[in-house]
Chain A
Amino acid sequence: MVEHGDVRVVHRGGSKINFREPVISNDSSFLLCASGDCVKVFSTATEECVHDLRGHSGLVTGVRLRPSNHLQVYSCSLDGTVRLWDFTDGILIKTYVIGYPIYSIYTSANHEGVIFIVTAKSDQGSELFQLVAVQLRQCAEQVVEAREFSAVLPDVTSKPAAIDFGRGGEYIASVKAQQLEVFFFKKQKSYRFFLREDNKKGGKNTFTCVVCHPKDDCIATGHEDGKIRLWRNFNQKKEYTYSTMHWHHGAVGSLCFTPEGTNLLSGGVESVLVQWRYNQESEKDFLPRLGAAITHIVVSPDGALFCTSHSDNKITIIQSCVKVSAVIQGLVNGDGVRTDLMVDPHSKAMVLNGKPGHLQFYSLQRDKLLYNLDIVQQEYIHEEGLQQFEVVKAAFTSSGDWLATVEERQQKSADLELNLKLWAFDEQTQSFVLNTTISAPHEARITAMCFCHAAGSQTTMLVSTSKDGHFKAWQLAEAAHTQDEGSSSSWSCDFVGSYHGLVPESCCFSADGSLLAVSFQEVVTVWSPSSWELLTTLSQPPGAIRHLCFGRLSCSKYLLGATDNSLLCCWNLLTCSLEWSTAMATSLLLVDPLSENIAAFCYQAGSTDLFVFKPNEPRPLFSQKAVCSGKVNRAVFAPREEMLESCEESSQWLNRSQLYFLTPYMDLMTFSTKAEEDKLMASSKQLVIDDSIAMTPFSLLLGKHRQQQENQDPLSVLSAERSPLPQGSAAIKELLQTPAHVLPSTSFLCSLFVQSLLISVTDSREEDKHVEEEMESDKENSDEEMESGTSRPEAGSVVDQYVHAADRPLTKAQIREVRRVKKLDQGWMSNILDT
């Protein structure tokens, strides 16, 4: 098997942002969170991702501010490195090579030049973890080997919430199972406190998290049974004491003290943020309806912002415990995705289970959740162990005009509640509107569902197969007798088919819609949808067919089927005979809608291999062993926005569309080529320079201005500001690309242009003054427009960012802004930026 060096499995988009607790910068303007292999920097005001800190080659497992410099941040990763970043500029400052996978990182203001990391105990595999202190040497190099470890706590858990530093870093508290351990650095002594495994009332005493009071010697611990204990007097073996507070009915997910220690925040599965008054525990405030279980709580250093991470991959920013001011939503990964991964043809968004009872539309290009479509339309109750309606199947037509969903609720084993819903796309609202609800479409669970893909056909047809032994065809029928013609069409059952009482497992339409293949156990039946005539049966016993798909384009004469006894068969429909078959434990068979390529995920010996092939070619186009551990059950080909021009044979299959798949741990992975990565790196570099200043409309424009000085000495920003614009710089490009009718008079532009070509030897102040005068005249010309331009920067800032990335010409108003900014005295600003 050939190893393809240039195609790599990466986290790209949709990675968890709730994996580790986020970090709020000292001025509360940025929120940093670990997300896959990078650290994302969000603006707390606009919820937008400002930039990614890329560099780690493994999963990032922790982010901490550097105590001695609050503009720098440490991040640690499973790749065995700790990296120090300047997060405002997005620059990697240093890389410390530790050499072992790091599971979490801690810093303490009291320990200068030391970081604390949790690593696996090297000899006993990954079960046992230890907390070690790492001395960071001061040196000038970029990559530093840091191998001076000293063990602090020998037995900890890898959960970051299970360790916290106490008042001023004097001690460290760690919880594991039923044990709390407090280690005092000064005395080098540790105290251990145990709880009984189960108290009499059946509550579980297991610790879930720990947090230390910032001013007092008090440790708060959260427990499995929802209790919060406040420990005091823990500097002695016996006379320690604790008080218990109990509000949560589920496990306490996270705890956090406010910076002054006046309040304690807690959250859990109830999705309620509880604020306890320290020392007045009977009084508490609640912020309910946060949407999903709280996994992390963070408070900004000034105490103004609270930030909660939720289990549905969401970060909520809350202002002073009363108002949700921003929601950063990642790809919702619930406990399991039950629908297939799909691509919405309209929005090009990936569609899968989202919030409970919803379908989410997630834009992979922009790595952003577009919206959640409420399918179930029932209140979700936040409690474990309840059986509630879930969306289990969904399908789009190829045009994207119709969406079919199946929701089910199974209480006990007896009564299954099923609903088939059909949604029509509404052009006006650009979303889906419920058209038909069919309750109990089948008597048993629906196994597969697909739309007829035929582009030219008049009627839209949906076929669903069920465990009750039938497959049903549903058709959009015009109800003639109703007056209102517009909304009269609804879906009804057109045909019920079965085959010898066998259970249909999967179904598939051919690309032109003329054939329908339904697999009944080991038999594949081929039907004609127009006449509902059984055309032929194909079978390759033994082994029931699990996956079926027709080939596309030039290979549309082939029908592929994967059986559960690891056989992949390809039938030729013209000859009605088996073309070829191969032994392959296929867990998923996927057709690229834009090419003939078919991807097969094969589960073998604990990991999944990928093969991409054309049905008519004997050699696979691409194969990779062990793309991930565990079984891959969900994957999708997402069409690319613009075609990739890759000439390498092994990566050509990725040119038209990108293959995404979900690992068993609900991580969305994709395949990326080298060319693509290079491009991405380049664009991120660009972005970094754009956003070196805080995201205000003013700074955006200023940043644009600074972009021109990129190639110059960064140390002399002041002088750079005065230096002439180089030939072909962005500003001149903008001038040239702006439509002529919006430009100022040529005489004005000419002088400006000529001036830009001059080599500046004069005093900068003179030049400034010069521009100033010119701007004055300009201002007089279009005073009105200026005002309209300045009144919309707030709303425009988001747009601006994208405009930037796409390198499109500036609008007229923006050019005016640029000029106006130039006119202003920027001395003070550049001073700030320098420092």
Chain B
Amino acid sequence: MGEFTVHRVRFFDHTPAAVRALAFHGGSERLALARADGAVELFNFNDNYFQEKVIPGQDGRTVEALCWVGQRLFAAGLNGEITEYDLENLKPSYTVEAYGGPVWTISANSQGSLLAAGCEDGTVKMFEILEKKIQFQRNLDRQKGRIVSLSWHPTGSLIAAGLMDMIRIFDAETGRATHRLLVDRGVGTSKSQEVVVWSVLFLSDQTIISGDSAGKVQIWDGHTGTLVRTHLVSKWDVLALAVSKEEDSVIAGTSEGTIIQFQFLSSTVAQQEKEWIRTRTFKNHSHDVRALVHTETAVVSGGMDTQLVVRPLLDKVEKNTMESSLRKIAFPHRSLVCCAKKAGLLLFQFPEHLELWRLGEGEGHGRAGDSLPVKRKPEKLIHLKRKGDDQICCSALSPCGGWMSYSTVSSVRLYRIQYDDNNISITKVSKLPKSLCSVHRLCFSPDSSKLFAASSHSSVVVVALNQSECKHLSTLKPKSGSRQPVHLLVASEDGKWLAAANTACEVHVYNLHTMKLHCTVPVFRSCPTAIGINPVTSNLVSVHADQQIFEFSLGQKEYTEWSRKLQKQGLHSLWLQRDTPVTHVTFNPRNPAHILLHDTFMFCIIDQSLPLPEAKSPLYNQMMLRSLPEAERVQHSHAFKISKNFQHLLCVSLLEDLSLVVVERPLLDIMSQLPAPVRQKKFAT
């Protein structure tokens, strides 16, 4: 495997924001997730829950509710605006002011023609969904107190709204309230507090299910407006409800972090009459469950503890498959860390600012596993706050450490950094080419002479960097005409090749000498999560969301022999069962046969010169190999050398002096920064 000096970096204070809203699009199996800082993430459930796109948030714009209408995604927040997102350019396409104070909830009818928004002032506002925009249509009867939750009847003729202390049913045609369902307040001290109906569901058989701040899940008959049954499920709030497509299962998320499932079951086997019965309880969150989605096979939940949890319903999936395992998505699937290999600098990207750190230095030598004494401590060089309201969406640091760049939805900024002894000066490059706007991905060439910026429609803008000026060199465009954004951009060490991968699973390789498209890697069904170009052999290695690995020879424009062998033999089942994507691919310049990759929980070196692991042999065999005598090691070793010494990895990079930089972010550190959860009585305390 080789020995490395490892910089174990734990000073990247990356803390994701709490999950605020979830919306699932059944047709394309995509989940939209809104965080408390206003960022919206899109996950592709068909492609191993890969985080395809991230739309950065904006200051002063929180997202309270998300709603899919066809392929269009709408969001509403407490700033009183309804936003539609441009999913190709990863930015809000337009916003519409609702004029009703903060918007708590939005909901579209099943036909996709109307969008209802519940506002602070007690109105339900109906917007007509037109092509390219939405238009205010009218208000429903105004109520006292804010509208916290909304739910359309599947036919679209009725709409239920959860308010303070009550639920109202409106006729969507006339706008008149037809029923008023009074919700009981909690007992004891909370009697004086008004109860908030956090969530309401309108089922096709006119059953209304509500979850409220008194911890009740109530089932109402919508025909008569009467209460059918009350389930007290929590001492605190029931914050979210979700129903399955078949309407035979409802889940409720509580402040205690539990999710309670209710199922529509007949009490005896043969009988047709069914009732809602509380069945399972899931506890996968430590904090409030703020948002829930009931897919056909799983319960998807998110909340204050910032994790997205996919809990498969074991009665709907095959046992012991990929689908049946619980998934917790805690870290972003894109890189937030940029490493200047030559200078030994690290750039950390936060939504609000950038941090530039110089790595520390150790001294002496030790045996494997020893920690060396630190001669010089790591040092924070620059703390750069962003300008404007928009959050940073991408950033890059040149390998020499002399250039730094970041981009927001609206603008790109480039900085020149100069180091003289202990003084660091940073100057903004004022004149940038016009073509640099709305950039999704930034990358410097290895010799720091060029900046590559992935722009709209999968195009890549090449900018030549100079001490004096920045000049637009060329715009590289793929032939496919794909409109999807580029999410991976990598340049080869020799400066000849540039590879760009987009969310349509295409990988385009450009020849930087000719500034032309060199070739397009055959499109695989799964999105690439990391790509890298071997500096010696010029082979493009791509790792995909379904954990497949390909090696594509750029010279021959075909898959290499090793890649074919790997596909023929198939990857080890344990490798395929890992649930976090590989986020970096790098190479060892000393040994071109070594590919270094990592995901959140492991770091792996693939040695292409060794045989591939057999299906029955153990994949994680480093410990075992160490115990064997030298002679026997050879016959047991295989290409995949995996180390689990480092956990919660955000970045692994190889510096020029062949020391390894490992950026860790322990989950416990994130947990310790969260606010305390609601108090719960624990047994024997």
Contact = CB atoms under 8 A, between A and B. Distances in A.
A217 interface: yes
B269 A241 contact: no
Contacts of A170: 269
Nearest to B281: A244
A426 interface: no
Interface string B34-76: 0000000000000000000000000000000000000000000
Given A249-B683, A282-B232, A241 B268 contact: no
B267 A243 contact: no
A205 to B, nearest CB: 14
A436 B265 CA distance: 67
The number of chain B residues touching the other chain, given as a range, is: 10 to 19
Given A240-B315, A241-B263, A282-B233, A232 B279 contact: yes
Interface residues of A, number: 23
Most B CB within 10 A of own CB, among A235, A239, A241 = A241
Most B CB within 10 A of own CB, among A170, A216, A235 = A216
Interface in B222-267: 231-233, 261, 263, 265-267
A233 interface: yes
A472 interface: no
A665 to B, nearest CB: 33
Contacts of A243: 277-281
B250 to A, nearest CB: 13
A281 interface: yes
Nearest to B314: A238
A242 B268 contact: no
Nearest to B230: A280
A232 B281 contact: no
Nearest to B266: A217
A714 B155 CA distance: 77
A751 interface: no
B266 to A, nearest CB: 8
Interface in B312-362: 315-316
A614 interface: no
Nearest to A232: B265
Nearest to B280: A243
A218 interface: yes
Interface in B273-290: 277-281
A487 interface: no
Contacts of B268: 167, 215-217
A241 B315 contact: yes
Contacts of B277: 232, 243, 279
Contacts, number: 49
Contacts of B269: 170, 217, 235
A625 to B, nearest CB: 52
Contacts of A216: 267-268
A238 B314 CA distance: 8
A417 B281 CA distance: 46
B278 A281 contact: yes
A238 B277 CA distance: 18
A241 B232 contact: no
Nearest to B317: A238
Contacts of A218: 267
Contacts of A241: 261, 263, 265, 279-280, 315
Nearest to A218: B267
A239 B232 contact: no
Contacts of B261: 241
Contacts of B683: 249
B281 A238 contact: no
A167 B271 CA distance: 13
A35 B564 CA distance: 76
A576 to B, nearest CB: 63
A240 B278 CA distance: 13
Interface in A240-263: 240-244, 249
B234 to A, nearest CB: 9
Given A218-B267, A232-B265, A233-B265, A242 B315 contact: no
Interface string A78-121: 00000000000000000000000000000000000000000000
Contacts of B279: 230, 232, 241-243
Contacts of B280: 241-244
Interface in A190-231: 215-218, 230
Contacts of B233: 282
Nearest to A235: B269
B285 to A, nearest CB: 15
A73 to B, nearest CB: 29
Nearest to B267: A216
Contacts of A244: 280-281
A243 B263 CA distance: 10
A215 B271 CA distance: 12
Interface string B512-553: 000000000000000000000000000000000000000000
A282 B215 CA distance: 12
Interface string A139-177: 000000000000000000000000000010010000000
Contacts of B315: 238-241
A242 B280 CA distance: 6
A584 B536 CA distance: 89
B58 to A, nearest CB: 40
Contacts of A279: 277-278
B630 to A, nearest CB: 39
Interface in A340-356: none
A282 B254 CA distance: 15
A279 B229 CA distance: 10
Contacts of A283: 232
A513 to B, nearest CB: 54
A280 B315 CA distance: 24
Interface string B660-685: 00000000000000000000000110
A385 to B, nearest CB: 13
A167 B554 CA distance: 71
Nearest to A171: B269
Nearest to A231: B279
A238 B318 CA distance: 9
A58 to B, nearest CB: 39
Contacts of B263: 232-233, 241
A279 B684 CA distance: 27
Given A217-B267, A242-B279, A243-B278, 16 more contacts: A167-B268, A170-B269, A217-B266, A230-B279, A232-B277, A232-B279, A233-B265, A239-B316, A241-B280, A242-B280, A243-B279, A243-B280, A244-B281, A281-B278, A282-B231, A282-B232
17 contacts: A215-B268, A216-B267, A217-B267, A217-B269, A230-B279, A232-B265, A233-B263, A238-B316, A239-B315, A240-B315, A241-B265, A241-B280, A242-B279, A242-B280, A243-B281, A280-B231, A282-B232
Interface of A: 167, 170, 215-218, 230, 232-233, 235, 238-244, 249, 279-283
Interface of B: 231-233, 261, 263, 265-269, 277-281, 315-316, 683-684
- The 4 tightest CB contacts between A and B, nearest first, are A216-B267, A243-B279, A241-B279, A217-B268
